[in-house]
Homo-oligomer: A and B are copies of this chain.
Amino acid sequence: MAHDKASVRKVLDKAKAEGRTALTAPEGKLVCDAYGISVPQEGLAGSAADAAKLAQGMGFPVVMKIVSPDILHKTEAGGVVVGVRSAAEAEKAYDAIVANARKYKGDARIAGVQVQQMLLGGQEVIVGAVTDQSFGKLVAFGMGGVLVEVLKDITFRLAPTGKEEALSMLDSIKAGEILKGVRGAEAVSREALAGLIRSVSELVSDFPEIAEMDLNPVFATKSGATAADVRIVMDWNPPLQRYRPSQDEIVRQMNRIMRPDAVAVIGASSEDGKIGNSVMKNLINGGYAGKIYPIHPKSPEIMGRKAYKSVKEVPGEIDVAVFAIPAKFVAQALVECGEKQIPGAVLIPSGFAETGNVEGQKEIQEIGRKYNIRLMGPNIYGYYYTPKNLCATFCTPYDYKGKAALSSQSGGIGMAIIGFSRSAKMGVSAIVGLGNKSDLDEDDLLTFFEQDDNTEVIAMHCEDLKDGRSFAEVAKRVSRKKPVIVLKAGRTALGARAASSHTGALAGNDKIYDDVLRQSGVIRAPGLRDMLDYARALQKLPTPKGENVVIITGAGGSGVLLSDACVDNGLSLMRMPPDLDQAFRKFIPPFGAAGNPVDITGGEPPTTYKNTIKLGLEDERIHALVLGYWHTIITPPMVFARLVVEVVEEMKAKGITKPIVASLAGDVQVEEAAEHLYDHGIPAYAYSTEIPVAVLGAKYKWARGAGLVR
């Protein structure tokens, strides 16, 4: 759409010159006109004939109002007529209005009579725009009237929006079905509504000084969408754009930081209990094979390694410097890192913004910018990168290698990640603490993990996004290649309050996060344990090739709960084709239920599980399996676990891989069986019918977002 930017500029310049932060209604109309946003037509009639002509041009009915600088109370003066329905009525109304005005105030100067299109019927909706401190410009759409007010039925997108995205907003609200026409009402024009949304999104993007905009109500009909009321609020000092290096630059620096060949430990120590000692131990005992340079003002040697007074004395190149010194010494050491051209600094020390030392944090940020050092932290536990056996933390080495990369904004949550991973033997490529995020944040990590062949799933705990817009852009790209899971803390009003007391960062409106993350293809984890379960399972599950999920269960009761969980997680239980139903029936007792779930019944031998699972894998129409196991003497847990692994590997040899998850109901022996299955790539859970389906659901959500299914 070609927009008349010059007209808008003129309106805004005038308002700015007059020191106003709100536009007047006529100004709002001009702005809308310039961007093709339909508003009620209006015109000024100088005669009865004029009025009739104007009205005919815009279509009936119309509203007519006296225009006079001397008449403030138009209705009182008999200067308003609503519902004018014909040219004749318009002429009559004109005369009546002027006559009334003269009677009301003999000497009133009369400029004429305003004729305005009257909006009738249609569906009331709201279109608006806001400026979020993390995401920038956002366009909003909701149902009008009580629905948006009582049910908060509204949805957001980053502005500007494309056509598809604008259309998607119409389906993203709870009451979206209303727009399709219910109870005999006509469907509204989706094209027109989406067009209006796009125009608003382009307007606020083109003019960042438009802080807020409300079109409320907009009347949507089968042929158009017209904004009955326009409200535009200005902010003449929009925030400056944040500095962002190019994606290539980020990759270059992050590769040196995350996969270093040489690490300096600033504040390395031989003394037990010191952080600088823990870091040294973890690097050495973790098996890191690169160069380690202890930095210490006095010691000539630390833990058998030659120590240096400063990074500047180190003969070779250094990729990353890990800081284990008090906050007050950080700035000076950081300058030295800059002079040594070290690309990354890992700032473990606390005592910056989180304790109120905002200035101190600003100082190191400026040093980082000046010398082009990327800063991780401060106020973090450090980071792990297992392919390099790198444990640059004060925790303990983690050596169960795998494909999940995790990060946390909080140290406590980082420790929970480490503990869970170790306990559940989760394969991990990296664990990174981001802490105060003075520089490096989630989008830098995403950019690195995107091209890191050792990472296949990315899971991030965050309380805020310093630059939600960058994150959304990067996540949209990365999530098409690898699942990105986000645990957004501070989701709720109360939670958000706590977030701000913790990090000093204002947590964003959760609805905005929710909409933008979804649009970016991010899988949002509802809780900490979910994030961990997803990260653990998603690296194991192959990508499904279609939507047909089949449950095969020995316990009918599990089958019902697994079905519930499938619905809860947006999975489609395949409608079983008759021939496939017959094929399953061959293997199960006559009173077992084929259909879906395939209920093989509880007393069956291993062969029944084996045959049905094999069939489920072999038939191309089935895309994923959910197994429900019931502990019996006839098929004990480990027998079940081994037979499943056997079938899966037999099929894999034939080139067949499908996501399979398992729910194990039984006595404690099922825990060992679940572990065996997990070790062989099949996410399996004892005593739960929800978790296996939830992780499969997460994989599907990702695959759909990435365009890999449907």
Q: Is A354 an interface residue (CB 8 A)?
A: yes
A507 and chain B: residue at smallest CB distance: B560
Contact among B418, B563, B670 with A492 in the assembled complex (CB-CB below 8 Å): B563
Given contacts A463-B557, A556-B410, contact A149 B182 (CB under 8 A): yes
Contact bitstring A173-185, B, C-beta under 8 A = 1, else 0: 0110110001100
User: How far, in Å, is A684 (CB) from chain B's closest CB?
Assistant: 13
Q: Is the beta-carbon distance between B557 and A461 smaller than 8 angstroms?
A: yes
Give chain B residues whose Cβ lies under 8 Å from the Cβ of A419.
631, 665-671, 686-687
Contact across chains for A411 and B494 when beta carbons are under 8 A apart: no
Q: Known contacts being A146-B178, A177-B150, is A561 close to B495, with CB within 8 Å? A: yes
Cβ-defined partner of A273 (8 Å) among B350, B563, B633:
B633
Take A149-B183, A273-B633 as given contacts and tell me if A495 and B667 are in contact as well, using a CB distance cutoff of 8 Å.
Answer: no
Asked if A203 is at the interface (CB within 8 A of a chain B CB), the reply is: no
Report the separation of the CA atoms of residues A55 and B528 in the bound assembly, to the nearest whole angstrom: 66
Q: Is the CB of B555 within 8 A of A411?
A: yes
Contact of A528 among B182, B527, B556, B687 (CB under 8 A): B687
**Cα distance A671–B416 in the bound complex, in angstroms:** 11
Chain B residues, Cβ within 8 Å of A174: 150-151
Binary contact track A565-584/B, C-beta < 8 Å → 1, others 0: 11110000100000000000
List residues of A (492-512) whose CB comes within 8 Å of B's CBs: 492-495, 497-499, 501-503
Contacts known (A560-B502, A564-B489, A567-B494); A667 close to B418, Cβ less than 8 A: yes
- Tell me if B557 and A410 are in contact (CB < 8 A): yes
Closest residue of B by beta carbon distance from A693: B527
Which residues from chain B contact A151 at a C-beta distance below 8 Å? 151, 174-175
Q: Is the CB of B501 within 8 A of A599?
A: yes
Q: How far is the CA of A558 from the CA of B501 in the complex (A)?
A: 13
CB 8 Å contact bits of A389-416 with B (1 = contact, 0 = none): 0000001100000000000111111011
Instruction: Type the 1/0 row for A341-374, where 1 means its CB is closer than 8 Å to any CB of B.
Output: 0000000001000111000000000000000000
Contact B558 A665 (CB under 8 A): no
Closest B residue to A501 by beta carbon equals B593
Whether the pair A410, B502 counts as a contact (CB closer than 8 A) is no
Asked whether any CB of chain B lies closer than 8 Å to the CB of A109, the reply is no
Shortest CB-to-CB span from A514 to chain B, Å, is 13
Which residues of A631-663 have CB atoms within 8 Å of chain B's CB atoms?
631, 633
Closest B residue to A593 by beta carbon equals: B501
Chain B neighbourhood of A595, CB < 8 A? 501
Task: Judge if A689 is at the interface, Cβ distance under 8 Å.
Answer: yes
Q: Mark A667-698, 1 if CB is under 8 A from B, else 0.
A: 11111000000000000001111110000000
B599 touches A557 (CB 8 A): no
Report whether A423 and B494 are in contact in the complex, using a CB–CB cutoff of 8 Å. no
In the assembled complex, the CB of A422 is this many whole angstroms from the nearest CB of chain B, namely 5
Copy number of this protein in the oligomer? 2
- B149→A564 contact, CB < 8 A: no
Let me know if A420 is at the binding interface, CB within 8 A. yes
Cβ–Cβ contact B146 & A182, under 8 A: yes
Q: How far is the CA of A354 from the CA of B489 in the complex (A)?
A: 47
The answer to whether the Cβ of A532 comes within 8 Å of any Cβ in the partner chain is yes
Q: When chains A and B are docked, how far (Å) is the Cα of A559 from the Cα of B354?
A: 15
A326, chain B: closest CB distance, angstroms: 13
Chain B neighbourhood of A418, CB < 8 A: 666-667
Contact status B560-A499, CB under 8 Å = yes
CB pair A591 B492 closer than 8 Å: no
Assess the A145–B688 pair: CB atoms within 8 A: no
Q: How far is the CA of A351 from the CA of B139 in the complex (A)?
A: 62
The answer to whether A630 has its CB under 8 Å from any CB of chain B is yes
In the complex, which of the residues A422, A495, A691 has the most CB atoms of chain B within 10 Å of its own CB atom? A495
What separation, in Å, do the CA atoms of A690 and B527 have in the docked complex? 6
A396 near B667: Cβ-Cβ < 8 Å: yes
A521 CB-CB contact with B under 8 Å: no
CA of A146 to CA of B628, assembled, Å: 40
A597 at the interface (CB under 8 A from B): yes
Is B412 a contact of A667 with CB atoms below 8 Å? Answer: no
Across the interface, A412 reaches (CB within 8 A) one of B356, B526, B556, B564, namely B556
Q: How far is the CA of A652 from the CA of B442 in the complex (A)?
A: 46
The yes or no answer to A602 lying at the interface (CB within 8 A) is yes
Does chain B have a CB within 8 A of A281?
no
The docked-state distance in angstroms from the alpha carbon of A671 to that of B670 is 20
For A544-566 the 0/1 string (1 means CB < 8 A from B) is 00000001011111111101111
**Residues 148-178 of chain A: 1 if any B CB is under 8 Å from the residue's CB, otherwise 0?**
0111000000000000000000000011011
Q: Which residues of B contact A561 (CB under 8 A)?
A: 413, 487, 489, 495, 527-528
Which residues of B sit under 8 angstroms from A666, Cβ to Cβ?
415-416, 418-419
CB nearest to A489 among chain B residues = B560
In chain B, what residue has the closest Cβ to A355? B591
Which residue in B532, B599, B686 is a CB contact (below 8 Å) of A502? B599
Contacting B at CB under 8 A, from A455-510, are: 461, 463, 487, 489-495, 497-499, 501-503
- A495 and B560 contact, Cβ closer than 8 Å, known pairs A415-B631, A667-B395: yes
Give 23 A-B contacts (CB < 8 Å), ordered by A residue. Answer: A149-B183, A356-B591, A396-B667, A411-B557, A412-B553, A412-B554, A415-B555, A415-B631, A415-B666, A419-B631, A419-B665, A419-B667, A419-B669, A419-B686, A489-B561, A498-B559, A499-B560, A501-B593, A502-B593, A502-B599, A528-B689, A529-B687, A532-B687
Give chain A's interface residues, CB within 8 Å of chain B. 145-146, 149-151, 174-175, 177-178, 182-183, 273, 350, 354-356, 395-396, 408-413, 415-416, 418-420, 422-423, 461, 463, 487, 489-495, 497-499, 501-503, 526-530, 532, 551, 553-561, 563-568, 573, 589, 591, 593, 595, 597, 599, 602-603, 628, 630-631, 633, 664-671, 686-691
Kindly list the 3 A-B residue pairs having the minimum CB-CB distance in the complex, ordered from nearest. Answer: A410-B557, A412-B555, A355-B591
